[in-house]
Amino acid sequence: MTILRELPLRDRKYARNKLNLLLAAFEQLKDRRFEEISVKALCEEVQVSEATFFNYFPKKNDLLLYFAQLWSIEVGWHARRVAAESGLAALEAIFEHMAGKAEEHPRAVSELIVFKARLQSYPEPREVTLAERLTAFPDLPGVENMPSHWLDSILMENLQRAKELGELAESVDLDMVVISLLSLYFGVPLVTALIAPGDIHAMYRQQLDLLWAALGVARSGIAGKE
């Protein structure tokens, strides 16, 4: 937090307002769809003008992109904590993080998955300022140094690490594994919501066990819900 306090007030206010708009959207998503949320209502809650909103987010859907980008930074941080010892453990940490997010913000996660499914291609990640990172993640030391990549890049990075450490055979096609992991990452929450609400940790563990077994790996570090 010391670094944040040393930043210009303008930067800190920009970050705080931007993140508060996202949090206001999360709150409204508890009982309505994203398309039903009005920019006016968000601005009234955060006490900023609509012009300010569109300065931060040129389109309302950019709120979801911002959510995805912050999420990717946080995911990368959690994975990097264990990547030095195990690329596969880093991948499992990514799925553990997703399971927690799906429990904390179930509708927001569902809206994000639907939104991403409609994208024709992933846009270039936008800059997430130092003030935004430190405001959003005050308890993640070193988050200011995390690259802002989309999930597929983070998965590939840790798969390559797993191969370097001998956890995966050299013959494994990493591009195909990335596709499998993305399918599990986004598909399991949607299926689980229909057939086994609240059991996403166990479902991820089961599906990763199956994938690891297919790749000749006998492990899964994802803990089930207590």
- List the domain boundaries for the chain: 68-214
Cβ–Cβ under 8 Å, residues 21 and 63:
yes
Distance CA 179, CA 182 (A): 5
Q: What tens-digit pLDDT sequence spans the chain (226 residues)?
A: 578 889 999 999 999 999 999 999 989 988 889 999 999 999 999 999 999 999 999 999 999 999 989 999 999 999 999 888 999 999 999 999 999 888 888 888 888 888 888 876 777 777 899 999 999 999 999 999 998 888 999 999 999 999 999 999 999 999 999 999 999 999 998 888 766 666 888 999 999 999 999 999 866 555 444 3
Q: Is the dihedral of CA 92, 201, 204, 110 positive or negative?
A: negative
Residue type, 110: S
Tell me the pTM.
0.86
Tokens 């959510």 locate to 67
